[in-house]
A and B are shown apart, each in its own frame.
Chain A
Amino acid sequence: MAIKWFDEATEIFARTTARNTSRRGFLGGLGTVLIGAGAATLLPVYRGSAFAQSASALVEEGDPNSCDYWRYCAIDGFLCGCCGGSTTSCPPGTVRSDITWIGTCHNPADGKDYVISYNDCCGKENCGRCICQRDQGDSPMYRPQSSNDINWCAGSHADMPYHCSLSVVIGVKG
């Protein structure tokens, strides 16, 4: 047959491969690639200037869509997690206010105090779900930097109707 040399070459290649490599070796290599690719993104790069601290390191307990969740100790508004977003991201169709009010909350899971930024999400009418008002450390309006009664959508670059509030961890007390 004209392709006999091809059969022979294939056989030699297959036998050499079988002699020189093992199936477990291949599985091991594949495992290294799979885990390595996932682990590379976890490398301890300094992310101090990122807006939100890496959430994976934060130990948290409780339901983020419930008003008694630890991060909401000073919130006054609708929880974005109930409105199509999450505690750290605005629902589609809304914009995060850049200016905001910032407070601290005690995290019972690790006993530390964290700095929380309560950015508003703006651009749609009131969400209306999961209203939450806890007001810890809230000050009257004449101390605007510590007042959560302010609609932070007005006056921000977003400048549109208020929809819901985020609770982003931005620092931790030493």
Chain B
Amino acid sequence: MSARTLSAAAFACLMMIGSSSLLATEQRQFDYMLNCQGCHLPDGSGNPQRQVPAFSGQLGKFLSVPGGRAYLVQVPGSALSGLSDEALAGVLNWMLETFSAAELPSGFKPYTGTELHEWRQVPVPDIEGVRNELLQRIAHQEEQQRKGT
């Protein structure tokens, strides 16, 4: 066999290896798929017109105002999901890093299971009211930053 034939054969083998391996989905993304993606969509864009908030460009902002860190845990989709505390912390961290890395506050500390355990036990009757208040705080903070610069 000539060198050309050999290299062609090697190329063909490489291609077959490449196409036959289905990469396993990362566990945190796996949990996102099964618990969140159905409504929040693969790219986290959600459907804001139908009360499914978008994550992109938004999620990380909650961490920079008081109460926001607990809110992301206490929102029903998080708190009432079938995920363990550790798995929920993993999904939240994955979502923050994947959909909203640019908005993360400096010195961002990832969620841990023990941290969010207590928050998860507290029912929040008016979660929409909490959300609106947090959005106001975020808007207020952004306005102040604009004035400051």
Contacts and interface: CB of A to CB of B under 8 A. Distances in A.
A13 interface: no
Nearest to B11: A39
Contact of A145 (B17, B19, B39): B39
A102 interface: yes
Interface in A12-67: 32, 39, 42-44, 48, 51, 53-54, 56-58
Interface residues of A, number: 32
B139 to A, nearest CB: 27
A111 interface: no
B12 A155 contact: no
Interface string A112-152: 00010100000000000000000000000001011000000
Nearest to A101: B38
Interface stretch (B20-28, B86-94, B100-108, B123-131): B20-28
Interface stretch (B29-37, B56-64, B111-119): B29-37
B148 interface: no
Given A39-B15, A115-B33, A171-B30, A157 B20 contact: no
A102 B34 contact: yes
B67 interface: no
A173 B21 contact: no
Contacts of B50: 155
A58 B21 CA distance: 9
A170 interface: yes
Contacts of B30: 115, 171, 173-174
Q: Is the interface of B mostly helix, strand, loop or mixed?
A: helix
A146 B83 CA distance: 12
B54 interface: no
Given A99-B38, A115-B33, A115-B34, A173 B25 contact: yes
A103 B34 contact: yes
A42 B19 contact: yes
Nearest to B21: A57
A104 B24 CA distance: 13
A102 B37 contact: yes
Interface in A62-108: 98-104
A96 B33 CA distance: 18
Contact of B25 (A32, A44, A51, A172): A172
A22 to B, nearest CB: 15
Nearest to A159: B50
A44 B41 contact: no
B110 interface: no
A155 B17 CA distance: 42
A48 B39 CA distance: 20
Given A101-B38, A102-B34, A48 B23 contact: yes
Interface of B: 8, 12, 14-15, 17-27, 29-30, 33-39, 41-42, 47, 50, 52, 77, 80-82
**8 tightest A-B contacts by CB?**
A44-B18, A174-B24, A171-B25, A57-B22, A102-B38, A115-B33, A99-B39, A100-B38
